[in-house]
Every structure is written in C-alpha cells, then in structure tokens.
Amino acid sequence: MAEAEAIQPFEPVTGVQEELKVREKSTIEFPYLDLEDSTEVAKAVHEVGGGECRLEQLAARLNMAVTGGGFRLRLIAAKTFGVIQYNRDSVMLTPLGTRLCDPQQEKQAKVDAFLKVPLYLQVYEKYKGVTLPQSAGLEQAMVTMGVVTKQKDKARQVFQRSANQAGFFSYGPDRLTMPSIKGGESPQTKPVDDARDEDRDREKTRKNSGNGGGTYHPFIEGLLKTLPEAETPWEIEKRLKWLQAAANIFDLIYSASDDSKRLSIKVESSA
C-alpha cells in the first residue's frame, strides 16, 4: 500500500535548532539566507530535474549534506521567497521559481520573490518614496513589525542584501525603489499594491482545473503530459507510480476538510 504524504517542513536538527526556536517567536516571516542563495536553489532544482527532484539530488548539486542544517536552512529560505515547495523526499519549483530560472523573466521574478517575504513587503510599503533610516532605526522598525529583538540585526542584513540583489537599491542603499523592468516600465506595482494577486490567480486556476474551465495548475498540466496515449500498453507498476505522484500533487495544491484522513493507493491481485 502506498500512502500520499503532505508537504511539511523538516524537524530542526543540531546546529540550527536554537536559531529556529528564536525565529518561531517572531510574528512576521523572514528568511535567514538572502535571495541569491534561494535563486541558486531554484536553478539547481531546474538543472537537476527540470521542475522537481529528490532532496539528495539537490543536496549533491549544491555540494551539501542532505541531513545538514545548512541545507535545511536553504530550503526554508527558498520556500519563504516562494520559489520552491518541498516534502521529506523531494523538492519542486513553484511557478515563481520556474520564472526565476528563465533568463528573460529572472529580473522580474526576483522582484516578485523579494516582495513575497512578508517582512520585506511591509518595509517596502512603509519606506517607498522616502529615505530609509540608518541601521539601528531600520532594525527597530523591523522589531515593531514582528521581528524578535535578538534577530533584528540578522533580519536587517539579509533584507539589505536581498533588496540589492532584487534591484531595489538602484538609486542608492538608503532608498527602496521599484526596479525598472523593460524600458522603464514598472509592472511590479501590482504585487506591491496587491501582494496576493498571484495567490488569487493560483486559487482561480485550482477552481478551473476542477470544473472543466480548461485551465490547469502547472503541476497538473505536467502530470497529464506524462500519460501514455490511449490504447497503448501501460504496466500496473507504472500506473501506480503515476497515481502516487498525482496524490502528492493534490496534497500540495488542494486543501482537505479532514486532515486526519489520507489518500492511499494499492495494487490488488485479480486471482
């Protein structure tokens, strides 16, 4: 019997446990590693598996130990930037992560990823169009937004590096300015004015995929492309693997009314 497993974070391990405990006290989400680190993670997933790979494959590509605290912090940061999702066995790119791996969309995707972080979005909305305070003032502002005091310097440093990597410091490190995309146009006004646009689009896609609307979630589209043509042989074991993959994807993109129940798939003999 094969049982689908829902996406869930790793358990803390030695070396990062105390830091994660500190983070849990914060009331606003922020990463401990910068945007460039998460970009490297997304591109490594793309290189290894296209859009999905096993955790040990990703760790090997990054030259890290799959059980190490550093690798887990990278996964957590990349998830906070909205570029990956992962479970205990595998990691997959989100639509934003896929765009981040496309050279023609990378610049815009970095802006999107930066504004995906709740802390960074709040800082941007508070200080857009005005001069940023000095380090101590910025850290204090982050504390009022929900960052635990013991981590305010770390949060500020990673924020500044990520803002620079996303292009928000193009007019100097004391002013957050929306990066110009394609000839001065600034299409990222949409996620700043309404940071949930992408989430609502994803929700609409989920609804359409279930009611014959003709639009499917990218993960479902990818799954459907792997179906063999009708009237061709398809071994039972391969059918089982396909159905298991489908169950994992459903756990990722759909919510359930009863989390105590799990979908199981099994093969029974006809004899």
Per-residue pLDDT reduced to its tens digit, 131-142: 999 999 999 999
Distance CA 124, CA 130 (A): 10
SS (H, E, C) 243-257: HHHHHHHHHHHCCCC
- Say which DSSP state 151 is in: G
Q: How confident is the model at residue 1 (pLDDT cuts 50, 70, 90)?
A: very low
Q: Are strands 2-3 and 264-265 parallel, antiparallel or unpaired?
A: antiparallel
Distance CA 34, CA 242 (A): 36
pLDDT given for residue 82 in this prediction: 96
Output the CA torsion sign for 34, 36, 39, 41: negative
Mean residue pLDDT of the chain comes to: 80
Retrieve residue 33's tokens: 């590693």
Residue with tokens 């609409």: 204
Is the overall model pTM greater than 0.75, yes or no? no
pLDDT surpasses 60 at 54: yes
Q: Is 100 exposed, middle or buried (0-12, 13-18, 19+ CB in 10 A)?
A: buried
Q: Comparing 39-43, 94-98, 116-120, 266-270, which segment has the lowest mean pLDDT? A: 266-270
Distance CA 227, CA 116 (A): 34
Distance CA 49, CA 147 (A): 36
Distance CA 182, CA 111 (A): 13
Q: For residues 25 and 98, which has the higher predicted lDDT (pLDDT)?
A: 98
Distance CA 17, CA 184 (A): 44
Retrieve residue 70's tokens: 């550093």
Nearest to 38 by CA among 1, 78, 10: 78
Residue with tokens 């990673």: 158
pLDDT surpasses 80 at 192: no
135-142: Cβ within 8 A, 24+ apart: none
pLDDT surpasses 80 at 218: no
Over residues 23-27, mean pLDDT? 71
- Supply the angle between the helices 152-166 and 106-116 in degrees, to the nearest 10: 160
Over residues 32-37, mean pLDDT? 96
Q: Is 33 exposed, middle or buried (0-12, 13-18, 19+ CB in 10 A)?
A: buried
Q: How confident is the model at residue 17 (pLDDT cuts 50, 70, 90)?
A: low
Q: For residues 46 and 197, which has the higher predicted lDDT (pLDDT)?
A: 46
Q: For residues 80 and 199, which has the higher predicted lDDT (pLDDT)?
A: 80
Q: Give alpha helix (H) positions in 54-151.
A: 55-61, 69-80, 95-100, 106-116, 118-127, 135-145
